Amino acid sequence: MQRRRIFFNAFHMNCVVHQSPGLWVHPADQMHRYTDLGVWVELAKLLERGKFDGLFLADVLGVYDVYRNTREVAVTQAAQIPANDPMVLVSAMAYATEHLGFAFTSSVLHSHPFPFARQISTLDHLTKGRIGWNVVTSYLESGARNVGKSGLPPHDERYAIADEYLDVCYKLWESSWEDDAVVKDRRRGIYADPTKVHEVRHEGRYFNVQGCHLAEPSPQRTPVLYQAGASPRGQQFAARHAECVFLTGPTPQVVGHLVKETRACADQYGRAPDDLLFFMYLKVITGDTETAAQRKYDEFLEQVNYDGALALLSGWSGIDFSQLDPDQPLEYVETNAVRTLFQSFAQADPNRRWTTRDLARFVGIGGGGPVLVGTPEQLVGMLMEWINVGVDGFNLAYAITPGTFTDFIDGVVPVLQQRGLMQHEYNEGTFREKLFGQGRARLQKPHPAVRYRRSA
């Protein structure tokens, strides 16, 4: 099913270096000022001017210490360390905007669902329903150690934990307070009817909760649910829970196959094709001419830091690339980290044998996915290649910020709008309504959250 417009999120992280190690030294990059709230407020205003649907914030609670078995390189190159909490940025950015959605990453391994559910409800109230949650299961062993665990649980068990975590959150968000529990009756002096506020009693394998949700129902109750995971178990999780699926892959053909597989799995849960939106990771570099765009790309590539790129890649894959010959062709190795990342390089071109040096250059400029380079008109054609295989939108990463986003908004957005491929104005309503249509502020059947709804 082809949609009438393409969806766009900006992909960012509350740190110095997100996906392009080395480029923070570029004189136009502002992320050395990531602790300045004004930087984030101005970014949100820029994205709303460009009619982006949302700002998607990544996060990790670990450090990239697989490469050379030390965090030294990650710290030196600011490769996602230092990294501040993304959640606390949202209130200020939401106050400065009216329509932009905000999705942030939080792992089910790093906080208990009871306080987390309240944090989500609080932000959903403060933003008037513009909150999304990117549900992740973690991939850094250091992140597990940081919160008192001996290491990461096995890959598929992490998704079992996530299934139960979400069930707890659904109970808190959807069933604890009835729709008409809050009466605000000044005459009688009654704010809420206690007979319509219910205790959640959850005793599971991983979590126990005995108590009512502390926050009254927010505009969306359950936030817009993002998920990023293309392994078979990750696809199953997305098919059951996700509304927006974050994908990465080397070619439209590879990504199109993942989209079809996940939609087929969602169909088994009774979900319709338009219940899920698929967002592809891309980085876009543009200029007035093809030569200008390529010159900009070459300039960025010269500043890529080899060790910083391998620190990120080692953390994502779970493989210490310092132990490998930089020019030796690589073989796929299954790990407990991001399983599909490394395999995707082989799928991109079966006739090409990637080396460590090749991967460092690829990751250094592109991060975890492809880089598109060209004029605005050329880029629209490239974007359509992904749309035509079933992708609904894009999470656009940056080489430098805010420059990469400014270039896209001033150059590519007008061309997209002229061709009817991007919104000119925002629709009213919550984040979910802006993505899925008016009247859909809350999740719809057959999503598993709905079965906990007392008014259902």
What pLDDT shows up at residue 125? Answer: 98
> Is position 123 within any domain?
yes
- pLDDT tens-digit readout, 420-447: 999 999 999 999 999 999 999 999 999 9
CA-only gyration radius of the chain, Å: 22
Helix (H) / strand (E) element for 9: namely strand 7-13
What pLDDT shows up at residue 435? Answer: 97
> Is position 417 within any domain?
yes
192 pLDDT above the threshold of 70: yes
Cis (ω within 30 of 0) for the bond into 402? yes
> Is position 344 within any domain?
no
When the pLDDT of each residue in the chain is averaged and rounded to a whole number, the result is 92
346 pLDDT above the threshold of 90: no
- pLDDT tens-digit readout, 5-56: 999 999 999 999 998 999 999 999 999 999 999 999 999 999 999 999 999 9
Of the candidates 258, 216, 221, the one whose C-alpha atom is nearest the C-alpha of residue 236 is 258
* Whether the Cβ atoms of residue 400 and residue 45 lie closer than 8 Å to each other: no
348 pLDDT above the threshold of 80: no
The domain in which residue 129 lies consists of 7-151+217-309+367-452
b/e sequence 381-420, b meaning 16+ C-beta within 10 Å: eebbebbebbbbbbbbbbbbbbbbbbbbbebbbebbeeee
What pLDDT shows up at residue 363? Answer: 84
Query: How far apart (Å, rounded) are the C-alpha atoms in residues 189 and 426?
Result: 39
Model confidence band, residue 366 (pLDDT cutoffs 50, 70, 90): confident
332 pLDDT above the threshold of 70: no
> Is position 257 within any domain?
yes
> Is position 271 within any domain?
yes
Report the predicted TM-score, pTM, of the whole model to 2 decimal places: 0.93
CATH of the domain at 102: 3.20.20.30
Q: What is the torsional sign of CA 432, 435, 439, 440? A: negative
- For 358, the token pair is 């090749």
Cis (ω within 30 of 0) for the bond into 446? yes
Q: What angle do CA 7, 453, 215 make, to 5 degrees?
A: 80
Query: How far apart (Å, rounded) are the C-alpha atoms in residues 109 and 115?
Result: 13
* Whether the Cβ atoms of residue 388 and residue 15 lie closer than 8 Å to each other: no
Q: What angle do CA 331, 386, 366 make, to 5 degrees?
A: 50
Query: How far apart (Å, rounded) are the C-alpha atoms in residues 18 and 22?
Result: 10
> Is position 122 within any domain?
yes
> Is position 126 within any domain?
yes
What pLDDT shows up at residue 150? Answer: 86
Q: How many domains does the chain have?
A: 1
> Is position 333 within any domain?
no
